[in-house]
Structure 1
Amino acid sequence: MKHTLSVLVEDEAGVLTRIAGLFARRGFNIESLAVGPAEQTGRSRITMVVPGDEQVIEQLTKQLYKLINVIKVQDITTIPCVERELMLIKVNANSASRGEIIELAQVFRARIVDISDDTLTVEVVGDPGKMVAIVQMLEKFGIKEIARTGKIALIRESGVNTEYLKVRLVS
């Protein structure tokens, strides 16, 4: 199972290196990693997606807390969260396919951010499922390049679980 960890750290040189080293020494892969300033000056929030069962994640959490600059570690996998990712995707686009690609971008609430004679670059913001869906739809045109930020997430203070709502709305 994939787990989403939210790690609050002191914003100092080498913190990310120590965290990545911890994972590397134990042979764990980080599938997604996003780092940026947090709400307080001098702190950063690291959001990472890592594979593993409950026992593995519990062990990793304990190891993370042993690192000097780590303030708080949360496994937010099962907690209602707002999750977002940014992706830029460059797609082959000749004059015949350009209109269809633009329509697809509109359906996904994406933006065309660059255009050339033979390509379109699309900016997509949303949850990871949206990223997978638009990539699948654009593959038939030929994808030239993709750049993704990795998932960022914050716990929903409202406690509303949108995954639950999606299931209820579809039923």
Structure 2
Amino acid sequence: MRKQVYSLLVDNTPGVLSRIAGLFSRRGFSIDSITAGVTADPRFTRITVVASGDERILSQIEKQVRKLEDVLEIKLLNDEEAVYRELILVKIKADATLRPGIIAIADVFRAKIIDVEKESLIIELTGAQSKLDAFLNLLDGYEILELARTGITGLSRGNKDIADAEEILRKRAEENGLD
């Protein structure tokens, strides 16, 4: 079983994320993580889906997602040709005596302390999953009050795969006989 990261460019329409997640649910595919956000062009949303399975399942996921009307483009991202990041926010119980140790760990990972209260700190860290996991492992001796992870998001490196949105829309119109 392996993981595959899919980067989808989709129409920014109401319910698009629900339709994509629904496809996974109906077909019995597992989603490890899913993130979505509007692109530089507000007509489009970039959705990053991480799924696990054997080659047959991962191939089926790609084929089924590609069939969805809202999907303009799908890219399979891999470690060598893409950049992945994930964000975590961690609220840690930290009185004045515990703070220096927690701050030292945060500094090693270049994490940001974004909130300080009398009895807690909130730390923000962005990076690869392995970096975030290593950070959390070092915090093992501290009491984590709350934790939020975004899931992986990613883009392909360079400009070889950059799709011109207007070109994609033009091809779609031609395929549908609307030119």
Shared fold (TM-score, shorter chain, > 0.5):
yes
Q: What is the letter of the counterpart of residue 55 of structure 1?
A: R
Tell me the TM-score normalized by structure 1.
0.87
The aligned residue for residue 75 of structure 2 is 74
The aligned residue for residue 63 of structure 1 is 64
Deviation at 1:41, TM superposition (A): 3.1
1:38 aligns with 2:39: yes
Aligned residue pairs, count: 159
Query: In 2, are the aligned partners of 1:79 and 1:155 still within 8 Å (CA)?
Result: no
Deviation at 1:94, TM superposition (A): 2.1
The aligned residue for residue 107 of structure 2 is 106
1:45-91 deviations in whole A, cap 9, x for unaligned?
A: 10011111222111111111111111111221354211111110011
The aligned residue for residue 144 of structure 1 is 145
Distance, in Å, in 2 between the alignment partners of 1:64 and 1:71 is 10
Query: In 2, are the aligned partners of 1:34 and 1:151 still within 8 Å (CA)?
Result: yes
Pair 1:104–1:53, CA change in 2 (3 A): same
Instruction: Please provide the CA RMSD for this pair.
Output: 1.5
Deviation at 1:128, TM superposition (A): 1.1
Q: Percent identical across equivalent pairs? A: 40
Find runs of 4+ consecutive structure 1 residues off by over 6 angstroms: none
Deviation at 1:158, TM superposition (A): 7.9
- Unaligned runs of 5+ residues in structure 2 are 161-179
Distance, in Å, in 2 between the alignment partners of 1:9 and 1:150 is 19
Distance, in Å, in 1 between the alignment partners of 2:28 and 2:58 is 13
- Unaligned runs of 5+ residues in structure 1 are 160-171
SS of alignment partner, residue 40 of structure 1: coil
Distance, in Å, in 1 between the alignment partners of 2:43 and 2:70 is 11
Tell me the TM-score normalized by structure 2.
0.84
Query: In 1, are the aligned partners of 2:89 and 2:123 still within 8 Å (CA)?
Result: yes
Distance, in Å, in 1 between the alignment partners of 2:39 and 2:119 is 40
The aligned residue for residue 134 of structure 2 is 133
Q: What is the letter of the counterpart of residue 116 of structure 2?
A: I
Pair 1:79–1:72, CA change in 2 (3 A): farther
Pair 1:109–1:78, CA change in 2 (3 A): closer
Q: Give the number of the structure whose alpha-carbon radius of gyration is greater.
A: 2
The aligned residue for residue 2 of structure 1 is 3
Query: In 1, are the aligned partners of 2:29 and 2:61 still within 8 Å (CA)?
Result: no
